[in-house]
Amino acid sequence: MAQFCMFRGQLRTLIGKAVNTNSSVSGYRMMSSSSKILPAARLDGVDQNVWLEFTALAAEHKACNLGQGFPDFSPPSFITKELAKIPTQSQHLINQYTRAFGHGPLVENLSKLFSPLYGVEIDPLKDILISIGGYGALFSCFQAFIQAGDEVIIIEPYFDCYEPMVKYSGGTCRFIPLRPREDRTPTTSADWSLDKDELRKMFNKNTKAIVINTPNNPLGKVFGREELQMIADLCVEFDCLCISDEVYEWLTFDDSSHVRIASLPGMWDRTLTVGSAGKTFSITGWKLGWTIGPSHLMKHVQTVHQNSIYACATPLQEAVSRAVAHEISVFGSEESYFKTLPRVLASKRDRMWDILKETGLRPIMPQGGYFMIADASALDVRMDDDAGSDDLPWDHRFVRWLIINKKSGYNPNLCFLFARTQTYSRKIRTLLLLQGGCNDRTNGGNLPRMGVLQIIEMNRQTFYFGPTASIHVDVTSLVN
């Protein structure tokens, strides 16, 4: 496994070097031999990517990179077996283009699954679009509706693609944080919430849309019905769009339940909901997602799709269609993958909680999703010059220091990824840990394997990164 990870890191280094050679917009302009061949202005400010920087650095120092949020266990056998059957058991046209906006059987089954959950009759041909992952779905939504002069409200912390996608479209981002409770130390993601008055002040005549993510990446917060109703009321009052990223909709724990904002009164007609086969069935490499919404909105999202992606892979859509059909047949029962996956991840979450508590950190118990946050303000790290200039944010330098210094010979015990999120009002250094990619046991069964360790420093430009355990894990090794 370590050798595979090192190979993958080396490959990413080569890719990173190739991209970094031409990654700077200003660099493009300086190196161009023609005054006419310049990059589009929409790339200004979004061309730099810390994922590339730190992936390359991790590979250079042979730190195994397992940072991305994907499971390292097998998908359910019913979906992989169906995919294996398709090329030989289906008629030959299954290998050709399918319907541009989504393979017929897949959109039909998604309609059957989600219509009762939304409380509306979803038209499979007009109200659903299949895309290249949730990422592709989000891109089409922003491109379809956001333009110069539009403001888009984004709730922090947030998935890092929202901001550049809004900027690509010509819009302006307005950020509002989820704030921790002030009357006590937060212990669960439910202790973080939107301030009602602060949220209302974000809306104005230029507000075109608000982006919500529930369960939230990376906090793990599952928005309750009351919170979503507050957002819905403002959307209706200010006549704006809601783009709801719900890719972790089936990953809720304990007594938390997922509420779809499009199911609230008055919201179906103004909501675009993004889902993911990758997160639903643990098949992130298949890159299939969808957007669900009313036809008067979806026709514009489909226009973007037909002029960019056009169609997604037919055999993969067929296999996902059969998996959705399977889930419909067992929906609500203990056999459903929608129930077994959260149980598996909840046990990993609970082990992680115990590990972090034992090290003196203060973890925040997530209600859903892949991630866990823990307060790491007690970490006392003395970094050397290798960590970079003192002008860099603390977290940026800390990640560099970890990559360069905290590994153990042939089997590096820390793996890294680096991604950026936004500014918080409180100065708290926190660790985030990925649940989804954790094996049950490593090191001969003697030590639980940790997931992705990520860091945030609040009250500055925020970053989060991921060192994760490959074989041996010792959280205390993070502190000198």
- Determine the pLDDT at residue 309: 94
Q: Which of 199, 191, 198 is nearest to 228 (CA)?
A: 199
Residue 69's pLDDT band (boundaries 50, 70, 90)? low
Whether 418 contacts 438, CB under 8 Å: no
Give DSSP secondary structure letters for 74-103. Answer: PPPHHHHHHHHHHHHHS-GGGGS---TT--
Average pLDDT of the segment spanning 83-87: 90
φ and ψ at residue 234, rounded to 5 degrees: -70, -35
Helical ranges in 207-313 per DSSP H: 225-237, 277-281, 295-306
CA-atom Rg of the chain in angstroms: 22
Which of 15-19's residues contact partners 24+ apart within 8 Å by CB, and which partners? 16/52, 16/53, 16/55, 16/56, 16/59, 17/56, 19/49, 19/52
Reply yes or no: is the peptide bond before residue 215 cis, omega within 30 of 0: yes
Residue 403 near residue 54 (C-beta atoms within 8 A): yes
Average pLDDT of the residues in 468-480: 32
What pLDDT score does 52 carry? 72
Enumerate the β-bridge partners of residue 430.
375, 456
What type of residue sits at position 163? E
Contact 130, 318 (CB under 8 A): no
Backbone torsion region of residue 168, taken as left when φ is above 0, otherwise alpha when ψ lies between -120 and 50, otherwise beta: alpha
Q: What residues contact 41, with CB distance under 8 A and at least 6 apart?
A: none
Determine the Cα–Cα distance for residues 411 and 241; give it in Å rounded to an integer.
49
CA 259 – CA 374 distance, rounded (Å): 26
The C-alpha angle 454, 277, 51, rounded to 5 degrees, equals: 30
Edge-to-edge strand list for the sheet holding 207-213: 128-131, 289-292, 271-276, 241-245, 207-213, 151-156, 172-177
Tell me the mean pLDDT in the region 35-46. 86
Cβ contacts of 193 within 8 Å, gap of 6 or more: 178, 179, 181, 227
For 244-302, the pLDDT digits (tens) are: 999 999 999 999 999 999 999 999 999 999 999 999 999 999 999 999 999 999 999 99
pLDDT band at 376 (very low <50, low <70, confident <90, very high): low
Q: How confident is the model at residue 51 (pLDDT cuts 50, 70, 90)?
A: low
Angstrom distances, CA of residue 23 to CA of 20, 45, 173, 310 = 5, 11, 23, 27
The pTM assigned to this predicted structure is 0.81
357: pLDDT strictly greater than 60:
yes
Structure confidence at residue 475 (pLDDT): 33
- What pLDDT is attached to residue 301? 98
